[in-house]
Amino acid sequence: MLKQHKNTFLQRIEQCGLGTTRFHGFEKHVRNKILFTIELRNSPLQFQLEQAGNSFDAFKLSYTRFAPAYPMTATENPIPLETALRVFDEWLKFTIRRYTEEQQTPDLWAQLETYAPLIDTTAISEEDSREFTEEEKELVRNGTQEFRQLIIANFTPTEEQAEVINNRLDYLEKAIDRLNRIDWKALAISTVIAIGINLYVDTEKGRLLFALFQQALGAALKLLPPGIL
């Protein structure tokens, strides 16, 4: 395969903004065929070009599809270079991007399970269902603000993550005016878990997040039933 043609495929990867270092290209001869293969590193994805026997500018294609077991599909007859490039562009757009997005998407169910050992369930007493007093509400508000600052200092959230965190904590803070102690505690636990998922924390970092929550709301937590850590 001509070097100028191989370089054109690399340029298409650059134009898509996918990062050329993530790909590997190599040429080999198989049964009198000249094959040029482009692979996404550490993945099952390949795009293969078989040069036509009578032309440098025509190719048969075979490439991995984004489907269960990542099957290969192939063209039956040689196609011109420009057509091969259009197919390659579509492959980058739909197969590589979707595969990359899937690999980078966190498994929220798995992350949720990491918090299971951190949460204890206990019986609910009549005392737990009391409303907060005004003094207690002030303790909760102050603790929530401190927790907000501790998250920023220890996790350095992105602007988008910070917005989600602020919205969650604002909602939690306002909830003390309408929820009793046990209901607010349940909301607090789910809020911390949601923040942890938003921050993509692992189990160790999840423990740190809960510890910071306890640190910030230490005084307020004494008012609540046991069950956090």
Return phi, psi of residue 63, to 5°: -155, 155
Strands 33-40 and 46-51 turn out to be antiparallel
- Is residue 225 within 8 Å of residue 122, measured between CB atoms? yes
| pLDDT recorded at residue 199 | 87
Token pair 């909760």: residue? 140
Tens of pLDDT, residue by residue over 76-95, are 899 999 999 999 999 999 99
Residue 53: pLDDT band with limits 50, 70, 90: confident
Tens of pLDDT, residue by residue over 150-174, are 999 999 999 989 999 999 999 999 9
Tens of pLDDT, residue by residue over 166-195, are 999 999 999 999 998 888 888 888 898 889
Q: Where are the alpha helices (DSSP H) in the chain?
A: 3-15, 81-90, 97-104, 108-114, 134-155, 159-174, 181-198, 203-216, 218-221
212 vs 222 pLDDT, higher one: 212
| pLDDT recorded at residue 123 | 45
What mean pLDDT is predicted for residues 55-76?
Answer: 94
- CA 86 centroid distance within chain: 29
The answer, yes or no, to whether residue 208 has pLDDT greater than 80, is yes
| pLDDT recorded at residue 112 | 67
Mean pLDDT of the chain: 85
| pLDDT recorded at residue 226 | 47
The answer, yes or no, to whether residue 124 has pLDDT greater than 60, is no
Tell me how many degrees the CA angle 107-112-118 measures, rounded to the nearest 5.
150
- Is residue 99 within 8 Å of residue 79, measured between CB atoms? no
The answer, yes or no, to whether residue 9 has pLDDT greater than 90, is yes
The answer, yes or no, to whether residue 149 has pLDDT greater than 80, is yes
| pLDDT recorded at residue 66 | 94
